[in-house]
Amino acid sequence: MIVDILKQNKDSWDKVAHHFNGIDALPSFGPFTQSEEELNLFGHPTNQKVLDIGCGSGHSLLYMAEKGASELWGVDLSETQIEQAKETLKDFAAQLYCAPMEQDIGLPKVYFDTVYSIYAIGWTTDLKSTFELIYSYLKPGGNFIFSWDHPLYVHLKSQDGQIFLDGSYQDEGSITYARFKGEEAPVTIPKRKMNTYINELIKAGFTIECVIESDVSTNFDSIKEEVSDRYYSLYKARRFPTTLIIKAKKMNELTGVHLNNFS
């Protein structure tokens, strides 16, 4: 079943990849959302080894390269995205792998300073394994930062600007869409509650540093919104967060021991 979903999503991502060249990439965390320049979650990636989960067209890795990251690694389910990422990063020695994020493909353990994922983590068919793997890739003291649709967002529909709850936020499961980006490209996307993301991070061993329910980036300050029923719109974003962003840390075990001695 999971294998079928991954195969279906891979084929569809290969088909729609051209719509996503440089879209949903750092410094953006998501639609209308504050950017890395406003949130400064990554600090200074200079000399860091970074791994991008669901690296897409490679533009977030390019941003990391421009900020001085020393090693660029990326994983993505789609062959087409990986080919595009190779093109985007042709001037850098990036290590790019076409694979599902939920699979252990032998990436180095206890190696990365930062692992991040911009609008990709929610695609995983196995959140538990994905977070456990990410935890294993990080050095102690390393950070994991991800952004994804706010978990309630998929349930927000609007009609003539009136926003209402559609379906059940309580029911986790998945939604299959027959079309994606206007193309015949069926995709299945898991639906998870906010506490599932948080609890799975904790179970994998992470310490949560901050949880952000996005606000609108100041880049839109001068733009007058129009009433809109589109899935993403400035109108909706000014009323409800489009994006969930979490920064979590793999604690340095020595620090843990030290603190315990004083408790």
Ligand X SMILES: C[S@@+](CC[C@H](N)C(=O)[O-])C[C@H]1O[C@@H](n2cnc3c(N)ncnc32)[C@H](O)[C@@H]1O
73 touches ligand X by CB under 6 A:
no
DSSP labels for 210-222? EEEE--B-GGGTT
Look at residues 46, 198, 44, 51 and name the one whose alpha carbon lies nearest to residue 110.
Answer: 51
137 touches ligand X by CB under 6 A:
no
Q: Which of 71, 76, 113, 149 binds ligand X (CB under 6 A)?
A: 76
CB of 58 to ligand X, least distance (A): 6
Q: Which of 34, 81, 158, 188 binds ligand X (CB under 6 A)?
A: 81
CB of 30 to ligand X, least distance (A): 9
CB of 107 to ligand X, least distance (A): 12
| Candidates 6-14, 204-212, 220-228, 237-245; binding stretch for ligand X (CB under 6 A) | 6-14
Task: Convert 163-201 to b/e letters by CB count within 10 Å (16 or more is b).
Answer: eeeeeeeeeeeeeeeeebeeeebbbbbbbbeeeebbebb
- Residue with Cβ nearer ligand X (165 or 175): 175
Site for ligand X in 36-55 (CB under 6 A): 54-55
100 touches ligand X by CB under 6 A:
yes
| Candidates 32-40, 56-64, 151-159, 242-250; binding stretch for ligand X (CB under 6 A) | 56-64
DSSP labels for 87-123? HHTTTS--EEEES-TTS---PPSS-EEEEEEES-GGG
As beta bridge partners, residue 213 has: 244
Sign of CA dihedral 200, 257, 43, 33: positive
20 touches ligand X by CB under 6 A:
yes
Q: Which residue's entry shows tokens 């456990």?
A: 132
Under the rule (CB under 6 A), what is the footprint of ligand X?
Answer: 6, 9, 13, 20, 24-25, 54-57, 59-60, 75-78, 81, 100-102, 118-120, 123-124
